[in-house]
Chain A
């Protein structure tokens, strides 16, 4: 085969692969949307589920997912950023740091059901936090942590050493240099990285089933000690656990679309903000 045709063929193969991936995504969205669009309405979003979840909306599941996600961030973001600062700014480059990095990387690969089990054992039982928003958020925070640490480290690495040196050479302490000439410029990257992590965590089902999500709890939680409904679990129930699976199938698609919308808009938002920051970066 001539070089020309080799080249041509290869281009076609890889383009087709790329198109296929995008196609699958669009097809999935289309598949969900076509069966759910009739369900989506203001009531569906803002109503409580009624009549054994065969009617009404999914409001408590939306709120539950938002709550648990925000609470997860409250725990995971400061800890993740602090860890990243330690690893990138303070720790001397030795085997300890390598071990910590390795551990964090491996943590990201642990199956979510294992996290769930761990959360059940530690937060729900041992620490006595019960089946609650708090237990679920802490469990999800553990899952989000490696993602946030990596994202934050990446953000810190984009800050040139010359900023640190410049500050130190002017008589700044290490903390002052980090506080004034590193963090302010790394923070937007850290935050967007964290939001991207959140987008991945918000759709998790297994960990929250074991630690705090309720099968049916048509209330808005008023404290972190309460159970809560969550979109992914609600979807799971409607799709497989409901006694009238066929009847609630449209509601399941509607829930899926809302969850998808929530997660995608979070990711898209973070990606847009990040690219905006990158374009505006002047160093």
Chain B
């Protein structure tokens, strides 16, 4: 028999709600990257529109966490779960913001002739999206090993970002066409946003490690 049934139900519901938000964020991130790759204005606009929903979800989840802490004095695993939800919800919201930023860039450069075919950015995007997916999967399954694996992949994304940064800087140095320079800058920001998304995924991985083991770690 389980006691404090209502409290634990609410905790469970909150966890589900976070995962719901997570899957929505994952979709938004993936769509923003696709919209960029295909310069799909509608998809980009859709990402931007979804942001309000996600902001509202973040506020709702945060409020429910605070209420549970205030009223139920969660301890041990429950406490770690709430701490994790509070942290992860912020990471998710930031990821969504980054997806919005990427979509805004899509809107900005749609219709332009691309300076170079997008090769590295989709690769980096694929990696980041996979990290988001795995981080959330680790959270669902409370899979510490998967969480740690996600964090390890952050270095690869960082390296790609560094390489892309160098490349785009070089291109901007040798170019004088303002549109193309601005496009390079936009792509550089895109790379930066993807790198941030990967960082947030890493954060989520770290929170999962804490949730499961109680150990606070800095990974990636």
Are any A and B Cβ atoms less than 8 Å apart in their complex? Answer: no
Chain B interface residues toward A at CB < 8 A? none
Chain A interface residues toward B at CB < 8 A? none
